[in-house]
Amino acid sequence: MQPKLSRIQHGPFRSFLYRDYRLVWICATSSSIANWMLKTAIAWLVLEMTRSPVLITVAFAVFAIPSVFIGPFAGVWSDKYSRKKLLVIVWIISCVCSIILGLLVLADFQDVWLFFLLTALIGSSMPIVFVCSQTYIYDIVGPNNALNGISLWSLGLRLVGAAGAIIGGFIIESSGIYLAVFIAAMAYGVAIVAVIAIRHVDAKGDLDGSSVLDNLKSGLSVIKGSGLLIGVVILAIIAEAFGYGISAIFPILADVGVFGVGAFGLGIMNGAFGVGGVLGSIILAGLRTLERLGSLLVLVLLVCGFLLLGLSLSNYFYIAVLIIGGLGLVMASYDTLAILIMQRTAPEGMRGRLTGVLVLTFGIGPAGHIALGFMTDALGPSLAAGTSAVIVISVTLLVFITIKKLR
């Protein structure tokens, strides 16, 4: 019995030995199902209503834009207030907004801007969920198991996200958009129940009674004083804008003008991205430790650039699906590496604030989504993907050359 327990304690799923980690994982996976279903549903809804590549990418952008304003503050709030209460509040808001969205779709409401507003309200929960989850994981499993805990968290998000995207596409095709949105609301409800059951007592950060703005400035000063962290933030902006951002033109690729595979094909494309992320997370979860994280981050983004180039040249749907799966794999690696660098570098009591600065890039990224929309409108999806590839490769090489601490 003892050898078996020892294998579990040192195996790839060792973080699941912690009860509260399991609950954090359930929260993350439930909300991931909801997010992917909503993204697929809203993208297809906007496509049906407007047929506009620009507005489709705007739909993706408004999901992430709140991170610009909330992301840095989310880190301070995570260090200062109860993470459990923060998560309960934001998931209640997401659940209610999803129910309203479903009712509007069911009533055949045609004002796309109201859909954007509700989507933005749901998206406002993302930076808070991200920061609170990461600080919870690091506190619960400890620094020695942080790589494993973060990788398994990422694995859960992508595993159920892939299923959520594929099932969401099937539900939209067979039963309608409204049902996918209502199921997303139910998934947010599961996350609320799971987070209420967490027993872990938050470790209070070194906030010394200062204002939220002052504590935000202290987090930014740490970033400013570290060449490594500056490099990570720049690379994160590129990854969010063009690595994750490429998913904003998946509806265009799925439409009749390109691959012609419909909503179910869109679900397969989103699902392939999620499955690739699952494979990347499994690989990282099996590792004991990683060194030279900066160099690995650069390598991951270079591979991302070349995969985008391959996507731009692909004329066959299933080859494109394989490339999209590869993009999911490298983006999962980017996620884990960037988070781990931030968590390892942060002074004690400031992990929330530094992670909050990383979340800021989630909101800056939509500028890339919208740029992709205009490029797609003017050049077509293939040239838009190729331009993205050139930007990712060029900026990554420039950052690697100029910031020595990334090597």
Q: What is the CATH number of the domain that holds 279?
A: 1.20.1250.20
pTM: predicted TM-score of the whole model, two decimal places:
0.68
N residues, the chain: 407
Is position 23 within any domain? Answer: yes
- Residue 299 makes CB contacts below 8 A (sequence gap 6+) with none
Per-residue confidence (pLDDT) for residue 5, from 0 to 100? 43
In the chain, the number of structural domains is 1
Is position 304 within any domain? Answer: yes
H or E segment and range at residue 40: helix 19-50
Per-residue confidence (pLDDT) for residue 345, from 0 to 100? 75
Per-residue confidence (pLDDT) for residue 244, from 0 to 100? 85
Of 256, 250, 241, nearest to 274 (Cα)? 250
Instruction: Count the neighbouring beta carbons within 10 Å of the beta carbon of residue 245.
Output: 27
Per-residue confidence (pLDDT) for residue 49, from 0 to 100? 85
Tokens of 158: 């992508």
Is position 1 within any domain? Answer: no
Is position 306 within any domain? Answer: yes
Is position 203 within any domain? Answer: no
Per-residue confidence (pLDDT) for residue 1, from 0 to 100? 41
Domain that holds residue 289: 15-198+211-406
Is position 205 within any domain? Answer: no
SS (H, E, C) 191-203: HHHHHHCCCCCCC
Is position 167 within any domain? Answer: yes
Of 388, 35, 284, 4, nearest to 183 (Cα)? 35
CA distance 276 to 273: 5
Contact 98, 191 (CB under 8 A): no
Q: Mean pLDDT in each 10-residue stretch from start to end of the chain (407 residues)?
A: 49 83 90 84 84 77 76 75 87 94 88 86 85 82 81 78 74 86 92 90 55 61 69 86 85 79 83 82 72 84 95 91 93 84 72 70 71 84 91 93 80
Contact 334, 280 (CB under 8 A): no
Is position 4 within any domain? Answer: no
Chain centroid, CA 41 distance in Å: 17
